[in-house]
Structure 1
Amino acid sequence: MEVKNPIIELMLKSCDVELMKNYSNEFYGPLRSNDSKADNLVSLHLVSLILLPIIILTNFNFDKEKLKNRVLYVLESPVLREFLYVITCFFVSLIFVPLIFLIVTSFKLYRAYVSKCLKENKSTGFKGFLVGEDTFWVCEDDNAKAVINVLAFVSCRGENMHENLLTSIRDRIYSKLMLPNTFPKMFYRKKRDESGYFYWTDENYLTINEYVRFMNDSNDIFISDDDFKEQMSSICNQSLPADHSALWECLVSRQAIQYDDGIKYPVIFRVHHSVGDGVALLRLFLEALADKEDVDIDENPVLTQTDNSFNTKFMRFLSTVVTCIKSPSVLCSQMQKQIDINKIHPSKLSGNKKINWIYESSNNDNYSTPLLTVVKLLKRKFPGSRFSNILLSALSKSLRDYFMYKNSEVPKDMTVVMPARICHESPTLKLRNRFSVAMQTIPIDVSRTTERVERVRRNSDVVIASPDYQVNYFLISVVAGIFPDWVLKNIINSKHATMAVSNLPGPNFSLKINGFAFESVGFFIPNVGQTACGITILSYNNKLHFGAIADENSVESVEDLGMILDGMVNELHDMAGKLIM
């Protein structure tokens, strides 16, 4: 006999993610701000953790048969199972607190001793240790260097404009970044002490001519689009200047590419991820390098207003409490997560990268509706969905088609790493990494569009409502700043996810540097651990620009990457044709 309790029924319904209404703005880009659904779920999780034991203890009488039936009913609820799992992990973790405290204290004392020695040695040019968020990125391997590659195409009216373009970029960077020393971090070098800790040094012998230079020595005036993609693939994982201790470089092509809408010169900005995340680098371009008459800081897409109201502060407090309680269970769940097994998830990276991109052009070739408009219309078609849900759904369909084309087994689902900005941007530009990551499952072997979008939305809701982002940010920002690299590499090595997906909102206009228009811009994220493939989406000048980077052991050719990107674009337009037009 099933005995139902109305209080428990109500609680279970309240904690059902599917029944939560989404009041959030577009979840577009790495900003998790203004997402009240996550706040609502945080409070409900806390309430459930507090009320469940009270209900169990006070709402049952001592009729043995009724008590037995009610206990069985409650034990079947997912909320109670989660509660028991969270509490068990939390109390078990308390056993290890003294040991963890001893280990952490020992390494902090060791780090302080190393710092003292480096400060006393004047020849090191010691400017401080890297903070945890930056240290995470210097624990890199040669087969996957932590370099963000930004590819821009600069429109020019005539041939042989490469010399003028190079000079203009050098002059702007020298006058805005180097001469006034506004952003000293850009011109530091990173060094590894023999102890395993990384530190900044201001001993820099590089000149602006070594930072900004030509990428090739060819005397040919033009290069084909396909040949440049192969050239870009060979460049993207190369070491940065000064034996990879420098933090950035800018490479200008001597050769132009002829497109239908004009002649364009490729320019590659390669920036080590320890300098800052995508939002910080975008602000650097907008506020420091671009021609000022083109930039309205009030319209900066990465700036958000910080809400310091009582309700917001209270929700942050609740979020902190829930995160502390659930942290051990989150870490246990991540360690127990099954490793993806599919064609594009290799066990080892080769170090040889393949790169491809689709930059939406002004004439929009085969389609009349801009992709940015298409995604926004599809988002409205699916209530409660976010911008990223539509993009992930299109990626899911494209990957399914790719596996089928390659006669490979189509996996049921796939794990992707989703970066997210963990805090609001400050009015003053600071070069730093303030992001976190979480793993999200996307369905692959699903043929129906509506079902695929709905499943992506549900999975996204669960991830955003969970404390995964906060827990992982703690690991990145705090733990990474305590341990030397020979310990840290074993902690942060990721083997579970197949790919990382990042989308970033850019300006709705074309940037210029000394009058040269950067008409198309995209970026490529570095591979980390065994995550051998990365997909990026940037909105720029009211267009969507897609990029893909993969290790050769994951995706064999530039053409295969192009097939995945083409599949995404085609699926977005197909979805619009079926559901909207």
Structure 2
Amino acid sequence: MRPLHPIDFIFLSLEKRQQPMHVGGLFIFEIPEHAPETFIQDLVADIRKNKCIPVPPFNNKLHGLFWEEDEEFDLDHHFRHIALPHPGRIRELLTYISQEHSTLIDRAKPLWTCNIIEGIEGNRFAMYFKIHHAMVDGIAGMRLLEKSFSKDPNAKHIVPPWCVEGERAKRLKAPASSRIGKIITKMKGQFEVVPTVFSELSHTIMQDKRYNPDYVSSFQAPSSILNQRVSSSRRFAAQSFELERFRRIAQALGGTLNDVILAVCSGALREYLLSQNSLPKKPLIAMVPASLREDDSDVSNRITMILANLGTHKADPVERLRIVQRSVQNAKQRFKRMNANQALSYSALVYSAAGLNILSGMMPKRQAFNLVISNVPGPREPLYWNGAKLDALYPASIVLDGQALNITMTSYLGKLEVGLTACRNALPKMQNLLTYLEEEIQRFEEIITASSANEMVNG
């Protein structure tokens, strides 16, 4: 048995019928050109016949405040095969994912499900995988699934994602003395946490809050339609964008790729809220998860958060970009001065009141942030599953009471894969954000084109 990590416990505590706490991924594959018509049926049959034993975390189920191994694992409970009305458009696929992402996972079993979906236009099929956020964060989930696929298009051996041995399963096979030594080393590190954390807290209170105009406090996010109570109904929308477009903007205007991505999201959110006559006078605040993993582990949660001022009160895209840059730079510098344990402890102290508010709902008009914007690094090489090339992967995440929208992105083969998850009832026509994202990218491109033209004339 393995005790729950405190962050994992929080994700379990937050869950209720209208607030499922699982994350997911939609993986779209191209069927090989000369594959038989029974390709998908054969793939599903191979998975069902596979006698492999599930590995952690896929064989773990809840037992009080511990994870324990499920000794009565039932594949049929977790693995399903469905077909869209032929030929299914992406629109029908996303509708199905929206419905699936709305349902809770049975806590009596390991907290995950996997669907193979056939009948997608363009000779494609999909896999939708969802797993409780208490079991993995975004980085860990991406690692788990990447291990299921191959870089070889000719590899035909099917190993289901729940049977691919991760780092934790390997560590459990290590000699007990080795594991005890690592635990003692970690315990020694805990004693170094307190002085550094209190030093950073003092700096935050005495310097950042008082003298830094770009400091983002825990409760400065304005009320907006993004911050309603959520229903159990979800809408999922997804689209791919060329990463090179963001890189060109970052190079021309200065700043990092992530700065530009946040600024583009800011512009899209501004346009969406204007279309709903609901743009707050104060700027939206985004919670940006930051990974604190110092190893290649692939279970549990090791994340902190950065609060980013999105500058949505400003009409000028470049001005919004500068606001984003300044607001995140402070947090980045702070976390660079701390190791992972220190950063986790700092975040727990600084954001505990905000977390308690989300958990209890005591102050519905006060929130630390308006939405979550997450960017998870993805595969850099083409991946294949039984010869089928992975064409796209779209992350699906959680929404909470008070945060009705989540924007999660990952990278793959030079693309930024964007997944939008929202409460269907709280945010009408949320899928229009995809159009607004494209329009905002074009605005930045027009700005840098005009700037280059002026330089040529003046030069």
TM-score after normalising by structure 2 = 0.76
Partner of 2:5: 131
Query: 1:562 offset after TM fit, Å?
Result: 2.1
Matched position secondary structure for 1:338: coil
Does structure 1 residue 413 correspond to structure 2 residue 280? no
Partner of 2:448: 579
Q: Is the 8 A contact 2:226 2:403 kept in 1?
A: no
Does structure 1 residue 440 correspond to structure 2 residue 308? yes
Partner of 1:28: none
Does structure 1 residue 286 correspond to structure 2 residue 170? no
Q: Is the 8 A contact 1:248 1:269 kept in 2?
A: yes
Q: Distance in 1 between matches of 2:237 and 2:194?
A: 41
Query: 1:567 offset after TM fit, Å?
Result: 1.1
- Could you say what the CA RMSD is over the residues aligned between the two structures, in angstroms? 3.7
Matched position secondary structure for 2:57: helix
1:251 aligns with one of 105, 108, 115: 115
Shift in alpha-carbon separation, 1:380–1:459, aligned structure 2, 3 A: same
1:452 aligns with one of 320, 323, 334: 320
C-alpha deviations, 1:498-543, integer Å up to 9, x for none?
Answer: 1100112211233212212221111012124522210011111221
Partner of 1:237: 102
How much identity, in percent, do the aligned residues show? 17
Q: Is the 8 A contact 2:309 2:323 kept in 1?
A: no
Of 507-516 and 158-167, deviating more is: 158-167
Matched position secondary structure for 2:290: strand
Query: 1:209 offset after TM fit, Å?
Result: 3.1
Q: Distance in 2 between matches of 1:164 and 1:213?
A: 14
Q: What stretches of structure 1 of length at least 5 have no aligned partner?
A: 1-126, 296-316, 361-370
Matched position secondary structure for 1:271: strand
Query: 1:373 offset after TM fit, Å?
Result: 0.7
Partner of 1:372: 243
Write 1 or 2 for the structure with the bigger share of strand. Answer: 2
Q: Is the 8 A contact 2:263 2:321 kept in 1?
A: yes
Partner of 1:13: none
The count of corresponding residues between Structure 1 and Structure 2 is: 396
Shift in alpha-carbon separation, 1:266–1:212, aligned structure 2, 3 A: same
Query: 1:388 offset after TM fit, Å?
Result: 1.3
Instruction: State the one-letter code of the partner of 1:202.
Output: E
Does structure 1 residue 498 correspond to structure 2 residue 370? yes
Shift in alpha-carbon separation, 1:451–1:335, aligned structure 2, 3 A: closer
Instruction: State the one-letter code of the partner of 1:396.
Output: S
Partner of 1:562: 431
Partner of 2:59: 187
Instruction: State the one-letter code of the partner of 2:379.
Output: P
Q: Is the 8 A contact 2:141 2:298 kept in 1?
A: no
Q: Distance in 2 between matches of 1:343 and 1:576?
A: 29
Shift in alpha-carbon separation, 1:358–1:244, aligned structure 2, 3 A: farther
Instruction: State the one-letter code of the partner of 1:144.
Output: Q
Instruction: State the one-letter code of the partner of 2:9.
Output: T
Shift in alpha-carbon separation, 1:510–1:253, aligned structure 2, 3 A: same
Matched position secondary structure for 1:186: coil
Query: 1:168 offset after TM fit, Å?
Result: 4.8
C-alpha deviations, 1:87-115, integer Å up to 9, x for none?
Answer: xxxxxxxxxxxxxxxxxxxxxxxxxxxxx
Does structure 1 residue 208 correspond to structure 2 residue 72? no
Q: Distance in 1 between matches of 2:10 and 2:367?
A: 16
C-alpha deviations, 1:517-576, integer Å up to 9, x for none?
Answer: 2211110121245222100111112211111001134312xxx22211221122113312
Query: 1:413 offset after TM fit, Å?
Result: 0.5
Does structure 1 residue 532 correspond to structure 2 residue 404? yes
Shift in alpha-carbon separation, 1:573–1:339, aligned structure 2, 3 A: closer
Shift in alpha-carbon separation, 1:153–1:392, aligned structure 2, 3 A: same
Does structure 1 residue 392 correspond to structure 2 residue 271? no
Matched position secondary structure for 2:286: strand
Of 521-530 and 416-425, deviating more is: 521-530
Matched position secondary structure for 1:221: strand
Query: 1:165 offset after TM fit, Å?
Result: 3.5
1:338 aligns with one of 208, 216, 220: 220
Matched position secondary structure for 1:340: coil
Of 413-422 and 207-216, deviating more is: 207-216
Instruction: State the one-letter code of the partner of 1:290.
Output: F
Q: Distance in 2 between matches of 1:167 and 1:516?
A: 16
Partner of 1:149: 24
Instruction: State the one-letter code of the partner of 1:284.
Output: L
Query: 1:475 offset after TM fit, Å?
Result: 7.2
Instruction: State the one-letter code of the partner of 2:411.
Output: S
TM-score after normalising by structure 1 = 0.61
Matched position secondary structure for 1:561: coil
Write 1 or 2 for the structure with the bigger share of helix. Answer: 1
Q: Distance in 1 between matches of 2:265 and 2:356?
A: 36
1:269 aligns with one of 95, 112, 129: 129
Q: Distance in 1 between matches of 2:357 and 2:227?
A: 25
Q: Distance in 1 between matches of 2:334 and 2:153?
A: 40
